[in-house]
């Protein structure tokens, strides 16, 4: 699927510019940016004033220089295996991940087709690349995506980009059908699983894993700031993709790597997921059912799209009406967000409600009863 990356990597090797991460390196430090030694300063523990061994608090540099460690590479391998991919590469944040992936991947002569509802970070990454970008109507496979794929990919690579679970609508992409189309027409499918990673699929492995599509999806982006309760993101794919990003991705090469605490936070998130996912997902599904059944009983079901996920959208057409609904919820002590145009198309203004496993029955009833006043 990604032979073109091997060709690009061979060109980098031929020029003598190939980079690889060093892992843990010992020696006298004359390369980090830890100028005052604060990243390795000893810390005091407890009331006794006992000094413990030095604890690294900062990364000290980019992972291409001093900011790498064997344990980081081991965690990336573990994450990749968990999601069913050969390799993973971690970034400081989800936004940076998408900027880096698309700006590095998209070359002149390439074409990327993307769902009109993709996240702003994806759009910005596409703008930084040099490919021709073309959006298609949300989840429209036959009339737009299939038609465009049939037109061919010119001389470059052809990519298709979607989200797994969409952040503003809460619905999911028809990934199996998209993967089949991409395979038929030689396109590379990329899936941003920011809102489905950690939530959907067995043990929170994501929608791609739930459908067993790893071998048919060129790259998956998993972010840790949503269901995982941590920070950062990884790109999942082949070893060639990982090496390609290490060598060409400017937001990866030219920034200080994640701090040790961030790596520990991600590792802890996966440990928690292994223990708590089944129970917490069951609680969340119960809350979602209660909310939707409550909205049905109040006669407001027509304002809800057929979405069974934690992101629930209640339509209040018009910026004034949606902000009145938001204000009523805030007055009742309910934190919801009114989404106005032009963030969403005019006429599709809505309250964006995120339901959680920790919400109580009483809290959901209060939300439904507050919204009842706008029915």
Which of 258, 286, 311 finishes a domain? 258
Q: The tokens of 250 are what? A: 């400017």
Distance CA 195, CA 192 (A): 8
pLDDT of 36-93, one tens digit each? Answer: 565 666 555 555 554 444 457 788 899 999 999 999 999 999 999 999 999 999 999 9
- Taking a C-beta distance cutoff of 8 angstroms, is the pair 216, 175 a contact? no
Residues 202 and 295 both lie in one domain: no
Which of 228, 258, 288 finishes a domain? 258
Q: Examine residue 343 and state whether it is found in any structural domain, yes or no.
A: yes
What confidence score (pLDDT) does residue 270 get? 95
Residues 321 and 252 both lie in one domain: no
Residues 204 and 151 both lie in one domain: yes
Q: Examine residue 49 and state whether it is found in any structural domain, yes or no.
A: no
What confidence score (pLDDT) does residue 165 get? 96
What confidence score (pLDDT) does residue 375 get? 60
Residues 111 and 213 both lie in one domain: yes
pLDDT of 110-151, one tens digit each? Answer: 999 999 999 999 999 999 999 999 999 999 988 778 888 887
pTM: 0.91
Q: pLDDT exceeding 70 applies to what percent of the chain?
A: 91
Local confidence band at 154 (pLDDT 50, 70, 90 cut-offs): low
Provide the residue range defining the domain that includes 114: 3-24+68-258
Distance CA 224, CA 258 (A): 13
Beta-bridge mates of residue 165: 172
Which of 208, 223, 258 finishes a domain? 258
Q: Examine residue 178 and state whether it is found in any structural domain, yes or no.
A: yes
Residues 229 and 281 both lie in one domain: no
Distance CA 213, CA 216 (A): 5
pLDDT of 281-290, one tens digit each? Answer: 999 999 999 9
pLDDT of 335-356, one tens digit each? Answer: 999 999 998 889 999 999 999 9
pLDDT of 297-309, one tens digit each? Answer: 999 989 999 888 9
Residues 247 and 292 both lie in one domain: no
How many independent structural domains does the chain possess?
Answer: 2
Angle between helix axes 94-105 and 120-128 (nearest 10 degrees) is 30
| φ, ψ at 20 (rounded to 5°) | -140, 155
Residues 217 and 346 both lie in one domain: no
SS3 letters for the chain? CCHHHHHHHHHHHHCCCCCCCCCCCCCCCCCCCCCCCHHHCCCEECCCCEECCCCCCCCCCCCCCCCCCHHHHHHHHHHHHHHCCCEEEEECCHHHHHHHHHHHHCCCCCEEEEECCCCHHHHHHHHHCCCEEEEECCCCHHHHHHHHHHCCCCCCCEEEEEECECCCCCCECCHHHHHHHHHHHCCEEEEECCCCCCCCCHHHCCHHHHCCCHHHCCEEEEECCCCCCCCCEEEEECHHHHHHHHHHCHHHHCCCCCCHHHHHHHHHHHHHHHHHHHHHHHHHHHHHHHHHHHHHHCCCHHHCCCCCCCEEEEECCCHHHHHHHHHHHHHCCCCCEEECCCCCCCCCCEEEEECCCCCCHHHHHHHHHHHHCCC
pLDDT of 208-230, one tens digit each? Answer: 999 999 999 999 999 999 999 99
What confidence score (pLDDT) does residue 192 get? 98
Residues 94 and 12 both lie in one domain: yes
Provide the CATH number for the domain around residue 352.
Answer: 3.90.1150.10
Q: Examine residue 213 and state whether it is found in any structural domain, yes or no.
A: yes
Q: How many CB atoms lie within 10 A of CB 41?
A: 13
Distance CA 93, CA 262 (A): 10
Q: Examine residue 267 and state whether it is found in any structural domain, yes or no.
A: no
Residues 175 and 313 both lie in one domain: no
Residues 211 and 290 both lie in one domain: no
Residues 203 and 345 both lie in one domain: no
Residues 205 and 304 both lie in one domain: no
């Amino acid at each position: 699927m990604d032979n073109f990356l091997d060709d690009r990597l061979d060109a980098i090797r031929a020029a003598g510019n190939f980079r690889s991460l060093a892992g843990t390196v010992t020696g006298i430090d004359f390369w980090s940016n830890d100028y005052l030694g604060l990243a390795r300063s000893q810390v005091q523990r407890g009331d006794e004033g006992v000094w413990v061994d030095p604890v690294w608090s900062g990364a000290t540099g980019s992972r291409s220089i001093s900011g790498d460690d064997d344990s980081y590479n081991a965690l990336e391998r573990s994450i990749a295996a968990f999601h069913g991919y050969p390799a993973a590469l971690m970034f400081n944040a989800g936004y940076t991940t998408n900027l880096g992936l698309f700006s590095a991947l998209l070359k002149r002569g390439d074409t990327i087709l993307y769902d009109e509802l993709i996240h702003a970070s994806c759009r910005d990454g596409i703008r930084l690349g040099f490919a021709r970008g073309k959006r298609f109507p949300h989840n429209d496979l036959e009339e737009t995506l299939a038609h465009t794929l049939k037109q061919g990919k010119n001389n470059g690579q052809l990519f298709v980009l979607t989200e797994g679970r969409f952040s503003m609508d809460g619905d999911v992409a028809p990934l199996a059908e998209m993967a089949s189309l991409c395979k038929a027409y030689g396109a590379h499918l990329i899936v941003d699983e920011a809102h489905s990673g950690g939530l959907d699929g067995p043990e929170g492995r994501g929608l791609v894993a739930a459908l067993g599509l790893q071998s048919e999806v060129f790259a998956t982006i998993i972010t840790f700031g949503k269901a995982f309760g941590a920070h950062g993101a990884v790109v999942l794919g082949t070893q060639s993709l990982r090496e390609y990003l290490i060598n060409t991705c400017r937001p990866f090469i030219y920034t200080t790597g994640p701090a040790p605490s961030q790596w520990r936070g991600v590792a802890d998130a996966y440990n928690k997921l292994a223990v708590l996912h089944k129970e917490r997902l069951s609680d969340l599904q119960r809350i979602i059912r209660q909310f939707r059944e409550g909205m049905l009983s109040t006669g407001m079901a027509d304002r809800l799209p057929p979405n069974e996920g934690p992101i629930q959208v209640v339509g209040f057409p018009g910026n004034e009406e949606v902000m009145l609904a938001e204000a009523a919820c805030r007055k009742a002590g309910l934190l919801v967000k009114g989404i106005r145009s032009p963030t969403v198309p005019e006429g599709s203004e809505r309250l964006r409600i995120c339901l959680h496993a920790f919400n109580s029955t009483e809290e959901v009833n209060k939300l439904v009863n507050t919204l009842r006043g706008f029915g």
